[in-house]
Structure 1
Amino acid sequence: MKTGAVICGLGAALPSRVLTNKDLEQIVDTSDEWITQRTGIKERRIVSPGESNSKLAVEAAKKALARANISPYELDLIIVATFTPDYLMPATAVLVQDQIGAKNAGAFDLAATCSGFIYALSVADQFIRADRSRKILVIGSEVLSHKVNWEDRTTCVLFGDGAGAAVLTGSTNDQRGILSTHLHADGSLWHLLTVKGCGSLYPPCGDELPREEYYIKMQGREVFKHAVRAMEIVAREALDRNNCSPEDLALVVPHQANIRIIEALRERLGLPSEKVFVNLHKYGNTSAASIPLALVEAEEEGRLKSGDLVLLVAFGGGFTWASALLRW
């Protein structure tokens, strides 16, 4: 199968402030042991006053462009996957476009929650398959700490802030690049993971909703059940499409939501631990930023080698779920 876009540069950005489980013990009724056992998270990064989604996205973008040795002027398109933008209007992507000086690029945001980076990767791949000369910047960037109810111990322990970016171009080597992407959704389950407030149905100045509905609310058991099943199915879909088996994979980079979800997926695919990348303990769930952040660290650790078969897989609110199979 002919490959599509190839990732030629990666970059990451994280707030300097670290919020540990011990810190959370002072904020809400929880403990380091409780959080670690149930989630696998030990700490997360949280923005300080003055730090924004676009600031993180710009920092990650500049690093990715430098690694790719591509000028911002060469970019044709910028896609920012996020559900925590700086503003409802304009899009975070146009703020990035301006701040990095990508004057020739179109720009838009994409909202698919935790599956957002793979969704955006898929869109970029289709553009590049149509014209292999295109150069596209894909960013997953979130400031989830502003959408967390710090009085809800079931959700506030889970999330962190950060950004990851990838520069994509057409491959000059048909043995490298994206083999296929697979996108799914089930809107009938939207109520299991929500932020209801601040949309047009429930404006921010209205009094129709209780305060907690303006923050992330989740029915954890149901989300877990659907996440494991959907991620296994979409992972196998990518493998089957390309006549591959789990044994062929060099690395799986899953969305970093919960160690129990990741472990359940690993067991269902029959993979050893060393073939599944995990950095959840350091950053928590960063939604659309989690997979690009993981890719940056995997590359830095030497776990992404030329020719490796790499599987990306995610699940998020909506519900949405997605996978991408790449030949690195």
Structure 2
Amino acid sequence: MSAAESDSPAAAGGGGVRIQQSRRLPDFLQSVKLKYVKLGYHYLVSHLLTLCLVPLMAVIVIEASQLDPDDIHHLWLHLQYNLVSVIVCSVFIVFGVTFYIMTRPRSVYLVDYACYKAPDKLQVKFNQFMEHSALTGDFDESSLEFQRKILERSGLGEETYVPEAMHFIPPRPSMAAAREEAEQVMFGALDILFANTNVKPKDIGILVVNCSLFNPTPSLSAMIVNKYKLRGNIKSFNLGGMGCSAGVIAVDLAKDMLQIHRNSYAVVVSTENITQNWYFGNKKSMLIPNCLFRVGGAAVLLSNKSKDRKRAKYKLLHVVRTHKGADDKAFRCVYQEQDDAGKTGVSLSKDLMAIAGLALKTNITTLGPLVLPISEQLLFFATLVAKKLFNAKVKPYIPDFKLAFDHFCIHAGGRAVIDELEKNLQLLPEHVEASRMTLHRFGNTSSSSIWYELAYTEAKGRMRKGNRVWQIAFGSGFKCNSAVWESLKNVKPSTSNPWEDCIHRYPVEILL
């Protein structure tokens, strides 16, 4: 409560409240006025070409209607006498159009995707998590208290999943258990995807799998090839060590492959493995992943076949990737290492959010001109010129990305990540709802979290034809990657949507 409010007579009756409201009314009217001025500006600039062409077309039509029939006849005779010129021009036009069609980038369609939902027996409640941590005997009292505080402030709910090996006392991490977790997640998502799309595994020409911390031999991609008996000439890739943003990297790689191979299907599988990457030491910065990361994965079917446009959900518009690994601080801010006791874990630097902010700034600087309306680009450019050339003391203009996107899928890496992007991009609570609810229900599922968020939006019935979706993720290295999709229809949730049995309970209130 402000000083003005505390000194007001509001506590004595309703009159004081009304006085406060009346004082704020001019400010409210001023904000409404500015809002509509800005909307009018955006409408004017966005439709400037149309507004200029309409009068021009009207003038041309009027002039054409006043032409004498003799003038039209003379024009036709002139064209007949210059037949060679007409033919040459026509050939050049046909050649140019053909060359454009043959060399333009092929459209990439997202036919469907599936997210893995673990069985209820793998759910872990906060008290169960803390009880198991205490019984392992590896954590001191300070570490246990630290984990308890992280859990309480994390934004996670009581229904997230940890792998089966972590439910034993003591835990039983092993190569066999890690393989079992990987198989359950990847095959679970792929089974749903193949069933929903009616695509046969033999029809898949490109396979991209990303998992940062678990890279066995044979690879995870080879495990999928073996399970589904994929064809021998499949182009398969296995991306490791690329962090939570690797899902967008995998989509970008699949997109590039689809530009080369005609009439092909590409499957992208994004997951993370927890079984062999649980930290059992007492270094605080390495305990945070234990509290945030949970079981999850997604499988995505992409196509460059024109016939798939009718049944596809989305079309891929842009992928923008930013890598800050040249900077030593950025390179080490998410770092797998051993502590002083020789126990392996992933350390998160205290500079993580600052580095993520710099990576985001670089990423949106590239993405902005591709997606923002010209009105926003002009405002940004004008502010930049005023600051650089005239040394004007003006705040940097933050483009309004709400004018470019209808839905935001921000990687659910943690509450702080979502808070920071909500603040920096000036988003509203409804824009980050999918991210917050995904973190609450499924935890940080690494590179697959952006797909759980998209599934949430679909389950809520909010995806309309023509809507644009911005998927943005951060990962070790340090990287910030963005993918932009356009909805091709009013999207309904697919069968076995991970939210189908609980969407009626969301959104939930999250205590911060």
Q: For this structure pair, what is the TM-score category when the shorter chain's length is used for normalisation?
A: 0.7 to 0.9
In structure 2, the residue matched to 1:211 is 342
- CA shift digits 1:44-101 (9 cap, x unpaired): 31111443213311211221222222111110011111113361x2210110122123
Distance 1:160 1:210, change over 3 A: same
TM-score (norm 2): 0.57
1:127 to 253, 257, 261: 257
- CA shift digits 1:110-153 (9 cap, x unpaired): 12110110000011111223345110000111112431214454
In structure 1, the residue matched to 2:110 is 7
Distance 1:171 1:264, change over 3 A: farther
Secondary structure of the 1:63 match is helix
In structure 2, the residue matched to 1:200 is none
1: CA distance, partners of 2:446 / 2:477: 13
- CA shift digits 1:136-180 (9 cap, x unpaired): 000111112431214454332111121111100026359951111
1:160 to 294, 297, 304: 294
> Percent identical across equivalent pairs?
18
In structure 2, the residue matched to 1:269 is 425
1:39 to 135, 154, 167: 154
2: CA distance, partners of 1:299 / 1:81: 24
In structure 1, the residue matched to 2:278 is 148
Larger radius of gyration: 2
2: CA distance, partners of 1:322 / 1:107: 22
Give the alignment of 1:1-328 within 5 angstroms.
4-16=107-119, 17-26=122-131, 27=133, 29-30=144-145, 34-35=149-150, 38-43=153-158, 44-49=160-165, 50=177, 51-85=180-214, 87=216, 89-104=217-232, 105-111=234-240, 112-152=242-282, 153-170=287-304, 172=306, 173=309, 176-187=314-325, 188=328, 189-196=330-337, 210-212=341-343, 214-219=344-349, 221-235=350-364, 237-244=366-373, 245-276=401-432, 277-278=434-435, 279-328=438-487
Secondary structure of the 1:85 match is coil
Mean Cα deviation higher: 291-300 or 305-314: 291-300
1: CA distance, partners of 2:450 / 2:480: 13
Please report how far the alpha carbon of residue 233 of structure 1 lies from its aligned counterpart in structure 2 after TM superposition: 4.0
The structure with more strand, counted as a fraction of residues: 1
Please report how far the alpha carbon of residue 15 of structure 1 lies from its aligned counterpart in structure 2 after TM superposition: 2.9
Task: Report 1 or 2 for greater relative contact order, CA contacts < 8 Å, sequence distance ≥ 6.
Answer: 1
Secondary structure of the 2:322 match is strand
Secondary structure of the 1:52 match is helix
2: CA distance, partners of 1:119 / 1:295: 17
2: CA distance, partners of 1:299 / 1:264: 25
2: CA distance, partners of 1:107 / 1:176: 23
Distance 1:137 1:40, change over 3 A: same
The structure with more helix, counted as a fraction of residues: 2
Partner amino acid, structure 1, of 2:116:
A
Please report how far the alpha carbon of residue 246 of structure 1 lies from its aligned counterpart in structure 2 after TM superposition: 2.7
1: CA distance, partners of 2:462 / 2:276: 33
Contact 2:281-2:341 within 8 A present in 1 as well: no
Mean Cα deviation higher: 168-177 or 102-111: 168-177
Mean Cα deviation higher: 167-176 or 20-29: 167-176
Contact 1:232-1:268 within 8 A present in 2 as well: no
* Count of residues in correspondence between the two structures: 315
Contact 1:53-1:86 within 8 A present in 2 as well: no
Mean Cα deviation higher: 221-230 or 120-129: 221-230
Partner amino acid, structure 1, of 2:335:
T
Contact 1:32-1:42 within 8 A present in 2 as well: no
- CA shift digits 1:183-217 (9 cap, x unpaired): 122223332212236xxxxxxxxxx97423x2122
Partner amino acid, structure 2, of 1:183:
R
Distance 1:234 1:38, change over 3 A: farther
Contact 1:117-1:292 within 8 A present in 2 as well: no
Please report how far the alpha carbon of residue 298 of structure 1 lies from its aligned counterpart in structure 2 after TM superposition: 3.0
RMSD: 2.7
2: CA distance, partners of 1:236 / 1:246: 16
Instruction: Give 5+ residue unaligned stretches, structure 1.
Output: 198-207
